[in-house]
Amino acid sequence: MPHSTTTDELEIIISGGGPKAPGGGGSGDGGDGSSGGSGSALPQRVYVTGITIGMGAILMFFMALVSAFIVRKGMGNDWRAFEIPRVLWLNTAILLASSGTMIYARRLFKRGDQKGFRHWWAMTTILGLLFLAGQLIAWRQMVASGFYLATNPSSSFFYVLTAAHGAHLLGGIFALIYVGWLRLRKLTIETATEVAALYWHFMDGLWVFLFLLLLLGR
Amino acid sequence: MGSRKSNAGSAAPAVLLAIVILLLVGSTLYFHIAKTWWFPPAITPVGHEIDQQFFLTLVVTGIVFVLAQLALAWMVFKYRDHGQKAHFTRGNHALEVIWTTATLVIFVGLGALATHAWGQVHFGGVEPGALQVEVTGVQFTWTFRYPGPDGKFGKIVPADIDASVGNPLGLDPNDPAGKDDIVVPDLYVPVNQQIELMIRSQDVIHSFFVRELRIKQDAVPGLIVPIHFRVEQTGDYEITCNQLCGLGHYHMHAMMHVLSQADFEQWEKKQEAQNAQ
Amino acid sequence: MSAHAGPVHHAEAPKGWIRHYIFSVDHKIIGTQYILLGLSAVTIGMILSLIMRTHLVWPNAHIWGFANGIVSPEDYLRVVTMHGTLMVFFVLTTVPQSGFGNYFLPIQIGAPDMAFPRINMLSFWFTFLAMIVLLSSAFVPGGASISGWTSYAPLSAVGEVAGPGLGMGQTLWVVSIALFCGASLMSALNFLGTTIDLRAKGLSLMRMPLTVWGWFITACLALLAFGVLLAACVLLLLDRLAATSFFIPANLDVSGVLLHHGGGSPLLWQHLFWFFGHPEVYIAILPGMGIISHVLSTFSRKPVFGYKAMVYSLTAIGFLSFTVWGHHMFISGMNPFSALAFSIITLVIGVPSAIKTFNWLGTLWGGRIHFTAAMLFAIGFVSLFVTGGLSGIFLAQPALDLYLHDTYYVIGHFHLIMGVAAIFAMFAATYYWFPKMFGHHMSETLGKVHFWCTFVGVYCIFMPMHYLGYAGDPRRYASIESVNYLIPLHPVHYFISIAAFFTASAQLLFYWNFFWSIKHGKPAERNPWHGTTLEWSVSTPVPHDNFAGHYPTIYRGPYEYSVPGMRDDYVPQDLAPELVAKA
Q: What is the pLDDT of residues B12-25, one digit of tens each?
A: 888 999 999 999 99
Q: Is C492 within a domain?
A: no
Q: What angle do the packed helices A114-144 and A153-181 form, to 10 degrees?
A: 160
Q: Provide the shortest C-alpha distance from residue C34 to chain A (in Å).
A: 22
pLDDT at C270 over 60: yes
Residue B153 DSSP class:
P
Side chain identity, residue C347: L
- Per-residue pLDDT tens digits for A129-166: 999 999 999 999 999 999 999 888 889 999 999 999 99
Per-residue model confidence (pLDDT) at position A184: 59
Which 2-61 residues of chain A touch chain B by CB within 8 A?
Answer: 2-3, 5
Domain that holds residue C545: 524-583
Average pLDDT over residues C14-28: 82
**Substitution target from A4, A8, A12, A13 for chain C, most C beta carbons within 10 A:** A13
Is residue C191 a part of any domain in this protein? no
Query: C537-563 burial by CB neighbour count: b if 16+ within 10 A, else e?
Result: bbebebbbbbbeeebbbbbbbbbbbbb
To the nearest whole number, what is the mean pLDDT of chain C?
94
- Neighbouring chains of B at 3+ CB pairs under 8 Å are A, C
pLDDT at A27: 35
pLDDT tens digit sequence for A165-194: 999 999 999 999 988 876 655 567 888 899
CA dihedral B241, B245, B250, B251 (to 10 degrees): -80
State the Cα angle at C266 between B161 and A78, rounded to 5°: 75
Answer whether residue C575 is part of any domain: yes
Specify the pLDDT at position C190.
Answer: 96
Residue C446 lies in a domain: no
Nearest CA in chain A to B95: A1
Q: What pLDDT score does C509 carry? A: 97
Q: Return the pLDDT at A93.
A: 97
- The Cα A125–Cα A128 span in angstroms is 5
Domain spans of chain A? Answer: 46-217
Is C551 a domain residue? yes
Q: What is the pLDDT of residues A84-93, one digit of tens each?
A: 899 999 999 9
d(C-alpha B269, C-alpha C274), whole Å? 47
Question: Which residues on chain A are in Cβ contact (under 8 Å) with B220?
Answer: none
Q: Is residue C536 part of a domain?
A: yes
Cβ atoms of B219 and B203 closer than 8 Å: no
- Going C407 to C411 to C412 to C414, the CA torsion angle's sign is positive
Instruction: Tell me the sheet residues that pair with B253.
Output: B240
How high is the pLDDT of residue C458?
A: 97
Q: Do the strands C257-258 and C253-254 form a parallel or antiparallel pair, or are they unpaired?
A: antiparallel
Q: Look up the ipTM and state it.
A: 0.95
Contact in structure between C292 and C428 (CB atoms under 8 Å): yes
Terminal-residue alpha carbon distance, chain A: 62
pLDDT at A164: 97
Residues of B in contact with C334 (CB under 8 A): none
- pLDDT for residue C388 is more than 90: yes
Neighbours of chain A (3+ CB pairs under 8 A): B, C
Report the CATH fold assignment for A46-217. Answer: Four Helix Bundle (Hemerythrin (Met), subunit A) (1.20.120)
As a whole number of angstroms, the distance between CA B99 and CA B104 comes to 8
CATH superfamily of B131-276: Cupredoxins -  blue copper proteins (2.60.40.420)
Per the structure, the count of domains in chain C is: 1
Taking CA atoms, what residue in B is nearest to A4? Answer: B89
Nearest Cα of chain C lies from the Cα of B276 at a distance, in angstroms, of 27
**Host H or E run for residue B207:** strand B206-210
Q: How far is B117 from chain C, CA to nearest CA, in Å?
A: 6
- Residue pair C383/B72 in contact (Cβ under 8 Å)? The answer is yes
Closest chain A residue to C231, measured at CA: A61
* Cβ–Cβ under 8 Å, residues C245 and A153: yes
Domain with CATH 2.60.40.420 in chain B: 131-276
Q: Identify the weakest region by mean pLDDT among C284-293, C334-343, C450-459.
A: C334-343
User: Around B15, how many Cα atoms within 13 Å sit in the side-chain half-sphere?
Assistant: 4
- Which residues of chain A make contact with B91, given a CB cutoff of 8 A? 3
Q: What's the predicted TM-score (pTM) here? A: 0.93
Whole-angstrom distance, CA of residue C234 vs CA of residue C226:
12
Q: How far is B99 from chain A (nearest CA, A)?
A: 13
* Secondary structure of residue B141 in the 3-state scheme: strand
C-alpha distance from B188 to closest chain C C-alpha (Å): 19
Instruction: Report the pLDDT averaged over residues C213-235.
Output: 97
Q: Which residues of B touch C158 (CB under 8 A)?
A: 203-204
How would you classify residue C256: left for phi > 0, otherwise alpha for psi between -120 and 50, otherwise beta? left
Half-sphere exposure for C535 (CA within 13 Å, toward CB): 27
Distance CA A22, CA A29 (A): 11
* Displacement of CA A194 from its chain's centroid (Å): 11
φ, ψ of residue A94 to 5 degrees: the values are: -60, -45
Q: Could you say which residues of chain B have pLDDT below 70?
A: 1-10
Tell me the pLDDT tens digit for each residue of A4-61.
444 444 444 444 443 333 333 333 333 333 333 334 456 788 999 999 999 999 999 9
A69-128, pLDDT tens digit by residue?
A: 998 888 767 788 888 899 999 999 999 999 999 999 999 988 988 889 989 999 999 999
pLDDT at C541: 86
The 10 Å CB-count burial string (b at 16+, else e) for C358-368 is bbbbbbbbbbb
Cβ contacts (< 8 Å) between B88 and chain A: which residues?
3, 5
Interface test with C, best of A44, A46, A53, A79 (most C CBs within 10 A): A53
